[in-house]
A and B are shown apart, each in its own frame.
Chain A
Amino acid sequence: MSARQREALAAYAFLMPNFLGFLAFTSIPVVISLIMAFSHWNIFKPPSWVGIENFRNLLWFHHEGKRIVANDPFFWQYVYNTVYLMAGIPIGMAGSLLVALMMNQKLRGIVVFRTIYFLPSVCSGVALLILWKYLYNADIGLINKSLRLAGGVIYSHPAIAIPFTIFCALLFGVTVVGIIAVLLVLVQWLSAKIGLEWQEGAYRVLMVIAGAAVFISIGIYSRYFYETLSSFFFSPPDWLGTVQWAKPSLILMGLWGGLGGYNMILYLAALQGVPTSYYEAAEIDGAGPWAKFWAVTWPMISPTTFFILVMSIIAGFQGGFMTANVMTGGGPAGSTTTIEYYLYQTAFEKFNMGYASAIAWFLFAVILILTLITWKLGGKVVIYE
């Protein structure tokens, strides 16, 4: 046996443990779960082949009188919950980038700040969730206590209440106008893609109209705005106890942990990998900080953004188990049950392994399709150096 062959054999020997582990604990279960998805198996008795019945019960609809009803209405509610909770992904990514930009400054003691921002990622997940559960408590939670305290101070003094309400109204108005602006940019971009060029100045005119409409509306409904705001402070919501607030509360909590987590580290590494010569060249061309960000930083870190986006979508579809299990029990009224938690309940509480496998394979198909779409679209936008 030649030295090269021995070396190759040694390499295979090194690979073998991982390969065997992958085969035993990943590949074989994956194949078996695919077979299970077409079977009925309750663990007690051997599986029996049922064809597409599990998928029909999961995804199909039937008539009830004149109405069309899902065979499993729970499932579609949980799909909606899962997608809703993924609304935090773009906000979280933008936040992570912002934090990474701040942490990328050459300041004294910046390492301490980086550690602080990364701390939520190394803390015990369950402990954090219990902590948040108390923070969100409607009566004794820190958030509601602070809101009531602030409300008491602000709304008992008109001299503070009126400027505060105006400030909040302006902030609200600017946010709405900002969202409209982003939507219009998207429409403009899509129009250009299908060959419809906008008249010059049309964007500005539309923005002025939108801005005027938003602020006039706020002016007309100022009294309502004042009352809503004051009641929000005096009677803050039951964050985890109401259908309207449970999901936004979980998104907010996710942002807290997500901003300074692994995404920030990835962005930080990407930012430190941008060659300084590009910035120098941009400065020579007269670019300011904003122009440098858009023309140099953003394109250079686009592969990282793309990676984070794909991974976040995958994690988003596979998430929600721990929060549902520890914080909400999937409620109220199933409003925080995600596909993953439903899969767990189906498999390990109802022992309906075949149906749970069908849910798992549906989830896999959705993630695969979305990843392929993202890959296809992202490939055109991402710039590799």
Chain B
Amino acid sequence: MGFYPTLLLGITLSYDISVEEESRLSRLTAFVGIAIGAVLIVVTGIYLVATANPSRAGKKVIRWVVDPNPIRKEQIKLFEKRHPDIEIINDPGADAQRLLTQLAGDVPPDVMALYDPQTIRLFAKNDVLLDLGPYVQKYKIPVDKLYPSLEPYIKYRGKIVGIPENCGPYVVFYNKKLFRDAGIPYPKPGWTWDECLEAAKKLTKYRIVRGRKIPVQKGIFISDGDWWFFIWMYGGRLFSKDGKRCLMDSEAVKKGIRFWADLRLKHHVMPTSSEAQSMAPTGAWGSSALLFRESKVAMTVSGRWLCIQYREQKDLDWDVVSMPHGPIRFTLLASKSYSIPKTCRNKEAAITFIKHLLSKENQLLVANYGDGIPSVQDPEISKAFLYNPQYPNERNNKLHLDEMRYARVQEFSPYINNLDVSAIISVELDKMWLKQQTPDQACEAIAKRINAIIRRNIANPNFLN
């Protein structure tokens, strides 16, 4: 029995019984009927609104699912000024879980942000993303001007599935005042990990409270999830080229992880998670940024987007320098790509918007805001990016562009879910940080566990399909 028969039954009963003595019962029955009817109307209304193809007074309305960065308002304003026939709604929050729910519920976004190559690959592999190739030709979108190292954010099996608007190689942010106070010269681009360690040792300070050493300042902060620097440090790799083997147990990787462990466990220049929590107890995203903002760490590793936060703190005297390197120089590249789902109902308007995101005006807007660097290689955009008169202290923006030469994206294997990889590495490295196992044991355990899953997945036709 569905809602409608129940509603009718309730109304009929209330009518019949109202002439009887049990009038109270009949009123209650009527209320039940009315309540069900009201719920039904609301649910139907929500469904119709959610699945409708919105258009307002001749305008196309497209939904842009992306993070709620304050710059989105300005970007939308700029776009709507250029395209008065299209209205953009910023739907904040583009985590994969939310996107999947929208796609599964047949209320697909028109343009969605995908934040890492693994997610792009996952969506593309499952045939969710529109092939942008024909549109790129038709609308002359300058994909060829994008940095070549962004390819994993753009293509899947030769098809263009995403357009990155900006990107950022990881660099070291350092507190100039703390360097001056410690009498250390500012670091120079191309410095090594050994030089970085020496500086970090001099920048680590404690105070003694009742015989107990309490850290008040640490040399460097590197997130526990940023293992890539140390996997690659001595030329190691996480996966073999065909993705069928995890190489964490190779000597090159072990050597890098040993160095990382020593930063915290031997030299104590990097705060433990507990110390970081104590020094800047936010416990949320931005903890590392806060540690740096509060001068609790002298150096922190991240991308240019942290400028947005550091600009707010006027008394913070900071600059950037390249990532330290070992025998091989490289850095990690982060970006986000904009894609259009195949089920999008406003494809033409969505592609117009994506094209606009690569326009000079939009790229300059993003660059000046302090977010990543423009993904389009254009002399005029680069020139504008190098110096923003509003922020005269930021004279080192060229470094971000220079570092693109050394930037590479995270590795992944098609034979294992990336979240399984992260979970295994986190658990085993946690044991290393807790001194329950040596760095070598951690590397071997990671390789063993990941390889066991890869073997199982290769043997399983359901996984590969």
- Tell me the A residues contacting B by CB distance below 8 Å: 1, 3, 6-7, 9-10, 12-14, 16-17, 20, 40, 42-45, 48, 50, 53, 57, 64, 69, 71, 73-74, 130, 133-134, 137-140, 148, 152, 234-235, 238, 241-243, 331-334, 345, 348-352
Q: A6–B274 contact, CB under 8 A? A: no
CA distance A53 to B461 in the complex (A): 11
Dominant SS at the B interface? Answer: helix
Known contacts A9-B9, A137-B281; A152 and B210 CB within 8 A of each other: yes
When the two chains form their complex, are residues A348 and B25 in contact, meaning their CB atoms are under 8 A apart? no
Candidates B20, B273, B281, B462; contact of A3 at CB < 8 Å: B20
- Residue of A14, A64, A139, A351 most packed against chain B (CB within 10 A): A139
Query: Does the CB pair B6–A17 fall under 8 Å?
Result: yes
- CB-defined contacts of B32 to chain A, threshold 8 Å: 13-14, 16-17
| Residue of B103, B104, B273 ringed by the most chain A CB atoms within 10 A | B273
Contacts of B22 in A (CB 8 A): 3, 7
In Å, the complex CA distance between A13 and B36 comes to: 11
What size tier do the contact residues of chain B reach? 35 or more
State in angstroms the CA–CA spacing of A36 and B273 once bound together.
39
Within the complex, what minimum Cβ distance (angstroms) separates A106 from chain B? 40
Contact of B420 among A44, A134, A350 (CB under 8 A): A350
Report whether A332 and B434 are in contact in the complex, using a CB–CB cutoff of 8 Å.
yes
Contact A71 B214 (CB under 8 A): no
The answer, yes or no, to whether B352 is at the interface (CB within 8 Å) is no
Q: Name B274's contact: one of A1, A43, A139, A333 (CB within 8 Å).
A: A139
Q: A351–B28 Cα gap in the complex (Å)?
A: 44
The 16 listed contacts between A and B (C-beta, < 8 Å) are A6-B13, A13-B6, A13-B33, A16-B32, A17-B6, A17-B35, A42-B126, A44-B100, A137-B277, A148-B210, A234-B212, A242-B434, A333-B428, A345-B419, A349-B97, A350-B420
Residue in contact with B427 in the complex, picked from A45, A148, A241, A333, CB distance below 8 Å = A333
Q: Chain B 440-460 against A: per-residue CB contact (8 Å), 1 yes, 0 no?
A: 000000000100100010001
Question: Of residues 406 to 443 in B, which have CB atoms within 8 Å of A's CB atoms?
Answer: 417, 419-420, 423, 426-428, 430-431, 433-434, 436
Output the least CB separation between B34 and chain A (Å). Answer: 12
Kindly report which residue of chain A lies nearest to residue B417, judged by CB atoms. A350
Q: A137-B274, A334-B427, A349-B419 are in contact. Are A16 and B1 (CB under 8 A)?
A: yes
Contact partners of B10 in chain A: CB under 8 A: 13
**Which of these, B6, B28, B128, B426, contacts A331 with CB under 8 Å?**
B426
**Interface contact B100-A43, CB-CB below 8 Å:** yes
Residue B346 is within 8 A (CB to CB) of chain A in the complex = no
CB of B136 within 8 Å of the partner chain: no
Q: Is B309 an interface residue (CB 8 A)?
A: no
Supposing A242-B434, A349-B419 touch, asked if A10 and B278 sit within 8 A by C-beta, the answer is no
- Cα(A348)–Cα(B434), bound, Å: 29
Within the complex, the shortest CB–CB distance from B446 to chain A, in Å, comes to 12
**List of B residues within 8 angstroms of A350 by Cβ:** 417, 419-420
6 shortest interchain CB distances as A-B pairs: A44-B126, A139-B278, A333-B430, A138-B274, A241-B274, A332-B430
- Are B36 and A17 interface neighbours, CB within 8 A? yes
Chain A residue numbers with a CB within 8 Å of B420 are 350
- With contacts defined as CB atoms under 8 Å apart, how many contacts are there between chain A and chain B in the complex? 122
Q: How distant is the Cα of A301 from the Cα of B346 in the complex, in angstroms?
A: 66
Q: Are A6 and B452 in contact (CB under 8 A)?
A: no
Cα(A151)–Cα(B24), bound, Å: 69
Cβ-based interface call for B142 (8 A): no
Which listed residue (A40, A53, A137, A349) contacts B278, Cβ 8 A?
Answer: A137
Determine if A16 and B462 form an interchain contact, defined as CB atoms under 8 angstroms apart: no
Interface positions of B from 1 to 56, Cβ below 8 Å from A: 1-3, 6, 9-10, 13, 16-17, 20, 22, 25-26, 28-29, 32-33, 35-36
Cα A242 to Cα B430 in complex, Å, equals 9
Q: By the criterion CB–CB under 8 Å, are B104 and A74 in contact?
A: no
User: Given that A13-B10, A140-B278, A333-B431 are contacting pairs, would A6 and B33 also be in contact in the complex, using a CB cutoff of 8 Å?
Assistant: no
Interfacial chain A residues near B3, Cβ < 8 Å? 20
Q: Is the CB of B128 within 8 A of A333?
A: no
What A residues does B183 contact at CB under 8 A?
Answer: none
Closest to B433 in A: A332
- Residue with the highest number of chain B CB atoms closer than 10 Å, among A3, A13, A140: A13
Residues of B within 8 Å of A6, CB to CB, are 13, 16-17, 20
Inter-subunit contact B9/A13 (CB<8 Å): yes
B190 at the binding interface (Cβ < 8 Å): no
B272 within 8 A of A: yes
Partner of B462, one of A10, A13, A50: A50
Q: Are B283 and A133 in contact (CB under 8 A)?
A: yes
Q: Mark B251-283, 1 if CB is under 8 A from A, else 0.
A: 000000000000000000000111101100101
CB distance from B267 to the nearest CB of A (A): 19
A17 to B38, alpha carbons, bound, how many Å? 13
Which residue on B lies nearest to A156, using beta carbons?
A: B210
- Chain B: CB-nearest residue to A331: B430
Docked pose: A138 CA to B274 CA in angstroms: 7
Candidate in B3, B127, B277 with the most chain A CB atoms within 10 angstroms: B277
Kindly state the separation between the CA atoms of A139 and B29 in the bound complex, as whole angstroms: 61
CB distance from A350 to the nearest CB of B (A): 5
Q: Beta-carbon contacts of B114-126 to A below 8 Å, as 1s and 0s?
A: 0000000001001
- Looking at the assembled complex, report how far the CB atom of B296 sits from the nearest CB atom of chain A, in whole angstroms: 12
Contact A1 B16 (CB under 8 A): yes
Tell me if B277 and A333 are in contact (CB < 8 A): no
Q: Within the complex, which residue of A10, A45, A64, A138 is in contact with B25, where a contact is CB–CB below 8 Å?
A: A10
A44 touches B29 (CB 8 A): no
Name 6 extra pairs, CB < 8 A, besides A44-B103, A242-B434: A3-B22, A238-B274, A332-B430, A333-B431, A345-B419, A350-B417
A71's nearest neighbour on chain B, judged by CB, is B456
Chain A nearest Cβ from B30, distance in angstroms: 10
Q: Which residues of B contact A238 (CB under 8 A)?
A: 274
Measured between alpha carbons, how far is A276 from B434 in the docked complex, in Å? 57
Q: Which residue of A lies closest to B215 (CB)?
A: A139
Q: Is A138 a contact of B278 with CB atoms below 8 Å?
A: yes
What chain B residues lie within 8 Å of A137 (beta carbons)?
Answer: 274, 277-278, 281
| Residue numbers in A under 8 Å from B214 (CB-CB) | 139
- CB contacts (< 8 Å) of A332 on chain B: these are 430, 433-434
Mark contacts of B123-137 with chain A using CB atoms, 8 A cut-off: 1 yes-contact digit, 0 otherwise. Answer: 100111000000000
CB nearest neighbor in B for A9: B13
A69 in contact with B452 given A10-B13, A53-B462 (CB within 8 Å): yes
Partner of A16, one of B6, B96, B427: B6
Q: Which residues of A contact B423 (CB under 8 A)?
A: 74, 334, 345
> A80 to B254, alpha carbons, bound, how many Å?
30
> Is the Cβ of B281 less than 8 Å from the Cβ of A14?
no
Q: Could you say which residues of chain A place their CB within 8 Å of the CB of B36? A: 17
Given contacts A3-B20, A242-B434, contact A14 B275 (CB under 8 A): no
**Complex CA–CA separation, A13 to B1 (angstroms):** 11
Specify which chain B residues have a CB less than 8 angstroms from the CB of A133 in the assembled complex: 283
Distance in angstroms between the alpha carbons of A163 and B22 in the assembled complex: 77
